[in-house]
């Protein structure tokens, strides 16, 4: 029995205008009110998606969000973390060295803010993510020691992102995922959305078989493969579709709502 629905945002729940459509909103609210957990799963911090949480009324004491691609599981009301996993500045040095050598921009995120490394030139990330503080700084000036960072990001022209994704070689402690055509993310090797979801499932006394997931991109692959029912959008990447249990219509065709309507036999 499905007890939790976990949804990627960009190119999955959100349409091309970065909106949750009326039909997607209506069906998710209906299921949430019926007792099914609705969990947004994103690479963004929670402050950057507060408008979506409010729209779906995901504000009960046991409502959670998977943020930073599974690196942080956070309570929507209290903002108390259930689970977190990150990297140190030293861990990020190989990413910095590669991007610097190839004259590419870099943003570094901890669980509070974004650090844009000015010596590497302008990044597109500031225009992509809202609701979080941006700080102009340099790699040398980043906090040292045990300070924990969630991830690093390359946000630039999609063609450049494709080249980096194909060519970059990094140590085993870093994994590379593409979350949007113009964004490549560098994460701790063990971090993925299913990792965060497993911690949340355990907290709520559920199993993976109780989980339905929706996604489209590299950073959704593990939660699609690991769920009782993993659903991929028509606009999803071929390698993600391969591990899906089911496919649905695109994000611009209300694919989430269409699948939920059929699965739960809901009349809208």
Q: How far apart are CA 15 and CA 111, in angstroms?
A: 26
DSSP 15-62: -TTS-B-HHHHHHHHHHHHTT-EEEEE-SS-GGGGHHHHHHTT--STT
Q: Which of 8, 10, 229, 254 is catalytic?
A: 8
* Residue 177 β-bridge partners: 185
Is 8 one of the annotated active-site residues of the chain?
yes
First to last CA, the chain: 22
Extract the tokens encoding 191: 């971090």
Render the burial of 147-171: b for 16+ CB within 10 Å, e for the rest.
Answer: ebbbbbbbbbeeebbeebeeebeee
CB 230 within 8 A of CB 248: no
* Catalytic residue ranges: 8
């Amino acid at each position: 029995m499905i007890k939790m629905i976990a949804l990627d945002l960009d190119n999955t729940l959100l349409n091309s205008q970065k909106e949750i459509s009326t039909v997607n909103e209506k069906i998710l609210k209906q299921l949430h009110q019926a007792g099914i957990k609705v969990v947004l799963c994103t690479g963004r911090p929670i402050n950057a998606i507060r408008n979506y949480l409010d729209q779906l009324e995901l504000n009960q004491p046991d409502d959670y969000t998977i943020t930073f691609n599974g690196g942080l599981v956070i309570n929507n009301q209290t903002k108390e973390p259930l689970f977190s996993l990150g990297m140190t500045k030293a861990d990020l040095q190989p990413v910095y060295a590669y991007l610097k050598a190839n004259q590419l921009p870099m943003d570094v995120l901890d669980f509070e803010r974004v650090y844009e490394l000015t010596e590497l030139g302008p990044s597109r990330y500031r225009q992509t993510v809202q609701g979080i503080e941006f700080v102009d700084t340099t790699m040398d000036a980043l906090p040292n020691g045990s300070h924990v960072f969630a991830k690093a990001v390359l946000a630039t022209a999609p063609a450049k992102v494709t080249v980096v994704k194909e060519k970059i070689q990094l140590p085993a402690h870093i994994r590379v995922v593409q979350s949007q055509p113009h964004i490549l993310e560098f994460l701790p090797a063990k971090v993925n959305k299913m990792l965060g979801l497993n911690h949340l499932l355990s907290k709520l006394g559920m199993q993976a078989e109780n989980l339905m997931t929706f996604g489209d991109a590299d950073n959704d692959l593990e939660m699609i493969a690991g769920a009782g029912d993993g659903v991929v959008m028509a606009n999803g990447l071929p390698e993600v579709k391969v591990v899906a249990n089911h496919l649905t219509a695109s994000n611009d065709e209300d694919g989430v709502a269409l699948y939920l309507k059929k699965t739960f036999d809901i009349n809208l």
